[in-house]
Structures are given as C-alpha cells and as structure tokens.
Amino acid sequence: MITKNVEKAINEQIKREEHSSRIYLSMASWAERNGYPGAANWLYVQTEEERIHMLKLVHYLNDRGGTAVIPSLDAPGSDFKSLPDVFHEVLKHEEYISASINDLYAICTKEKDYTTANYLQWYITEQIEEESTVRSILDQIRLAGDDRGGLFMMDKEFSTMATAKRAALALSGGANAVT
C-alpha cells in the first residue's frame, strides 16, 4: 500500500509528464509551421514518449492501491523565437523534470517506500538519456550555425533521429508496454 505523501507526489509527477507531452506538442506544431519538418517529427515522437511516461505512473499508482488523478493542465507556450530557442527550452524543461524525479525519489526513501524508489530507477535512467540527447542536439545545432542553410541541413538529421526514435519506441511496445 502506498502512503498519502507518495501518492500525492506521484500524482504531481503524472501532471508534469502530461504537461511535458503538451509542451512538446506545441513545439512540434511550431516547427511544422516554420519549415522544420524533421524537428517537428522528432518533437511529435517526444510527445508520445512523455505520454508513455505519464501512463506508466498512472498504472503504477493504481496497481499499488493508490488513486491516479487525471489533472487539468495550463496551456503550453506557443511562441518560439527560433529552432535553437526551442531546443534550449527542451533542455531547460528536461533538467526541471530530472530534478522533480529526484525530489520524488527522496520522498519515497523518506517514507521508506523502497518499492516505488526502485520503480523510479527507470525514470532516473531515462532522464540521463533525455538530457544527454538534447545536449547533443544543441551541440549539432551550434555546429550547423544559425543561418537557414545550416539549420536546413540539421533538420534532415532530425528526420533520421526521429525515425530511429520512433522505431525504438515501437520496439519497446509503445503505449501497449505500460498496461
């Protein structure tokens, strides 16, 4: 059985993951409208991933005898200055999510809920990967330069990354893997 404090903290994380999905959806839509189909593709896949992160927590909480609360969400921002600006925002957001997972982990250990702490290891590893991916994207954007030509080449690279990301997601079972 899960404690009230852990239940509350997981519900807050459910909200953050769903909000992440919405933020990336807004960024994907911006990229699609602004001539970056590859980046849009990558961000649309990221939207799906975040939804899976949210669903995993919903199932986990319900399975442990808690109650997952499906939250209302604030509208994400939709006005971005440039493609580099979008990915700086992605990195900032992922760092915030990593910190929130660490806080959730700390609550679990304080409450001696080692089962949930153990479950959260998957999220800790996932955050390391997500931050690292976005940092390397920002490195590539920097190398491409901020002229349209460089970013156009970079956008082709995004398509390749999005295809690999979508395949990895399908291999892991996508949303079906979390039931």
Q: Smallest distance, Å, CB 150 to ligand FEO?
A: 26
Residue of 31, 60, 73, 53 lying closest to 130 (CA atoms): 53
Between 61 and 144, whose beta carbon lies closer to ligand FEO?
A: 61
Between 7 and 49, whose beta carbon lies closer to ligand FEO?
A: 49
Q: Smallest distance, Å, CB 24 to ligand FEO?
A: 8
Write out the two tokens for 136.
């390397």
Between 48 and 153, whose beta carbon lies closer to ligand FEO?
A: 48
Between 41 and 46, whose beta carbon lies closer to ligand FEO?
A: 46
8 A C-beta contact, residue 96 and residue 134? no
| Largest pairwise CA distance in the chain | 56
Instruction: Give dist(CA 12, CA 32) in Å, integer.
Output: 30
DSSP output for 10-78: HHHHHHHHHHHHHHHHHHHHHHHHTT-HHHHHHHHHHHHHHHHHHHHHHHHHHHTT--------PPPP-
Instruction: Give dist(CA 9, CA 3) in Å, integer.
Output: 10
Q: Smallest distance, Å, CB 112 to ligand FEO?
A: 25
Q: Smallest distance, Å, CB 50 to ligand FEO?
A: 5
Q: Smallest distance, Å, CB 175 to ligand FEO?
A: 14
Distance of CA 42 to the CA centre of its chain: 12
Q: What DSSP state is assigned to residue 175?
A: G
* Residues at the interface with ligand FEO (CB under 6 A): 17, 20, 50, 53, 94, 97, 130
Closest chain position to ligand FEO (CB): 53
Between 20 and 26, whose beta carbon lies closer to ligand FEO?
A: 20
Between 124 and 153, whose beta carbon lies closer to ligand FEO?
A: 124
Q: Smallest distance, Å, CB 145 to ligand FEO?
A: 27
